[in-house]
Chains A and B, each alone.
Chain A
Amino acid sequence: MPARNHSQWLAKPKLEGGEWIDSRVYSDQNVFDDEMERIFKKVWIPVCHESELPKPYDFRTTSIAGEPIIIARGPDNEVRAFLNVCPHRGMLLERRPSGSFLEGQPSGNPKRITCMFHAWQFDMKGSCVYVAREKEGYQDRLCKEDVGLRRLRCEVKFGGFVWVSLDDNPKISLEDWAGEPFDCLRKSIDAEPLEVFHYHKAIIDTNYKLWHDTNSEFYHDFMHYHNRVTGFNDAYFARKNFAFKHGHVVVGTFEVNYENYEGFESRGALSFPHLPPNQWYMVDLFPGMNFNLRGSALRCDVVTPLGPDKVMIEFRGLGLKRDTPEERETRINHHNSIWGPFGRNLHEDLIGVAGQGTTMRPHTEPRQILHGRHENQTIHDEIGMRHYYDEWGRWMDRLPNDPDQPWHERNPGESAEAAE
């Protein structure tokens, strides 16, 4: 077909309903606000790895859906999560990304979470243990027992990641949420403790789902010279996408021929426990987390949506905690060669989603985004995205190809929110 006029351009594609979506899903502020309330404040998010706070009193700070969070390891070795907000007048309790509460601070004592503003102090279980001039100020009307921190649901699971839910009563347990998709990796990532060796972040002018879409299909490997030369063979194309409940997808494995790329080497000798040499599994978790095990290194991407057209992506690389220095260095080199910020693939992926973000800024004309490739569920089949947006429609009660329309009216008898 030659280039189309405006009405032809806007006409619905000759595809089934679930095979294309409306670009407002990626660009509309109201959709984004709904996503924060209906999805991100309800689901389990892996906010960091336990190795980032290895000792009692270590902490990490993070955020979900704009809510600031502290993760702290107590003297009992338990990892707990709290809202990083002082119950007094709303000051951010801890401003650093990480550290130890063993150290005293100008406003407070060691072993306490201290608000620098008015010196209220909390222990590692979130209990308030000191209110400055408590009796003088509040007499008997309010006491420290009344003003503990807001505790959040927190579990350490699936390879030692720290998972947090802002929902006090999550409708789905973490095991039910992600256990099945993690089955393919569990023996490898739970065989022994893992350790984070890599961290960097990117803030990209694009919608968070476009990053997850990229992780959910391998059709974009035509963008990657590295993948074309190391991978494109029958086994590569034969891998399948497996859809799991709650919108998750797993990509099946195959043996990568790293030797085909000049300067690269086999990762067989350092493959994760129970993982056959040079195999490659990928788990895409709704609504935007990715776990990618390429033989010797595990990569984890976590998105923090910042707006309909802005996302922060945190990239972590992990190896085995028991690695010798030499093993660790080799593992890091393997990780960096493809996934590092100066590696062969990651940079291209970021360019791809940034380009999509450019065409889908807020207030740009809505258009159709096609997810209609069918190739027997193999990796160039866009089933991963179709599965994701079916789930997204339930959670949002919006039709992905007409987001102003409620999902439940087109799907009578089915629960609009997947978690119910």
Chain B
Amino acid sequence: MSRSVIEPFALPWLLDPPEDLRSQLKVLRKDAESDAGDLRRLAGYALDLNQLGQMGKAVAARRDDLAASGLRPLRLAIAATHTADFLVEALPATALRHGLLIDSYQADYGQTAQAVLDPSSALFAFKPDLVALAFDPLALGLASPRLDEGGGEEAVQSALDYVTSLRDAVHANAGVGVVLQTLPMPQTALFGSFDAGQPGSVRWMVSRFNARLAAEALGPGDLLLDLAALAETVGLAQWHDAARWHDAKVPYALDAVPLAADHLCRLLAAARGLSRKCLVLDLDNTLWGGVIGDDGVDGIALGQGSGTGEAFTAIQSLARDLRTRGIILAVCSKNEESNALIPFREHDEMVLKEEDIAVFVANWTDKASNLQHIAKVLNIGVDALVFLDDNPAERERVRQELPQVAVPEVGADPAQYPLILSAAGYFEAVSFGDEDRKRADMYAANAARSSAMQKIGNMDDYLRSLDMVCSLRPFDALGRARTAQLVNKSNQFNLTTRRYTEAEVEAFEADPAKFTLQVRLEDRFGDNGMISVVIFDCGEEEWVCDTWLMSCRVLGRRVEEAVLAVVADAARKAGAQRLVGEWLPTPKNGLVEKHFEKLGFTFAGDLADGGTRWVLDLANYQAPDLPMVIERADELAGADA
């Protein structure tokens, strides 16, 4: 399901869970024979607090199976000055999403200091790997203004002293690190804007505390959860819920818990080296607007001057910024490589340059195979990849074939891509050093490019899973404008590149010597609209292909085979013996050089200007079984239909 508004609490980069989640979880919890690995898969959905709790029970029941499945175990003790129970409840399920298996212990409410200061406490008996210390402004003496001279500074110092003394106690008593957190800004003002500069106002103290906490309070092995930044990103009005604070001392809205748990888990995963390392980018409609192969370097939307162009610039800028902090960039695009490189070389407003891309893969192979190739070339796991693609069908295909790859659900608006990518936090880090600064260059030096790829994965199963319906009908008034548009715009999958005006297209509709098709394709992601146009000249013996074009969006869906089946059927009924096809080369249609050969035509000679001629003997042609429903207009229905 797509969301039109980005709801930060709803984990918008993840898909909504299946309807029957609760019953699936029940099976996984109670049936020891069921595949516990499914829990990891289900944790990858946008689960709400209730669902996280339900999954947590299944995780507990299947703990041993999960421990054997390669998750990294982590024992986390939590000492909070408020109600952290909801967070604790959400952790085991959220942890799976990040490759962790968390066992947690929570100190009794109100016993934070005792639990940490007493070496023989139950908290230390739990033998934690990390201890999270969660405070709130009230517990730290920062919830009320201190307007006496020097009072604000003193309150902040005393809060920091308290936090660091507990930190030191954890270090001393267990020899492990702590997770500290910044304080989300309270919503109520005292003076108003004046608070910002007035020492001792709550806003002043909380800002100062947060800044000093980040700068001074972390020792080796300690981690900082910047809850204040998270609350700001969400919006304080949504983050805080006074009713929950009053009735149960829950420090933020209950709806914030899944997001807060995700941020904590991504931080813990980062500390265990489990963050993603490489951002793999699609090109057309992801790095620029439009299709380079069709629109050309002057026709794509990118850069200053239009909102759409600037949105793509922002995506590229984020990718470049990630590169400067050591994230590897790669490209995985269905394109002719020569076309795909043109913007990098010729478009003035490209933020990303060719040398920024460590592995550049542009071909027509399925993307799951290409992603495996990219991981192999970079010598990293596919679980280190994040794949950004505007096309929901490509995203779904990759999720099915390579569930280890993170594939953010980015929606349809490129302006939102940077926000969603950032919100997903795939590249969370707990340090930054020289090695990170140099990493991207190091990989760029080894830049590899691949064009030929082995096909893997079961393509047919995938295609069937798309629930495609392909409908074919002759040209008509309803489709005329779109037909003419495709005839005049398509460059790549276009055998003859003959252009016709709308009036000419209209004339074909009534011409008995022309066999015409307009083809539409629907799948479970939606209606692709008209995606192919075909014209044959109908002779007595042979039908000759005048025009055959298709949108590259539906490449690899076997639509061309469906088209051929319908043409062949009609030609047979009309008494023809053969179909004849020609490929007329242009600078852009190298993609279809072998189109007729792939469809079973035999080579019948060279044409002037490098073209080729192909023939299909209808007596030998048999229509294949195709992974889609084919709907043809009545006048096209053959005897076998």
Q: Do A and B truly interact?
A: no
Which residues from chain A sit less than 8 Å from chain B, CB to CB? none
Which residues from chain B sit less than 8 Å from chain A, CB to CB? none
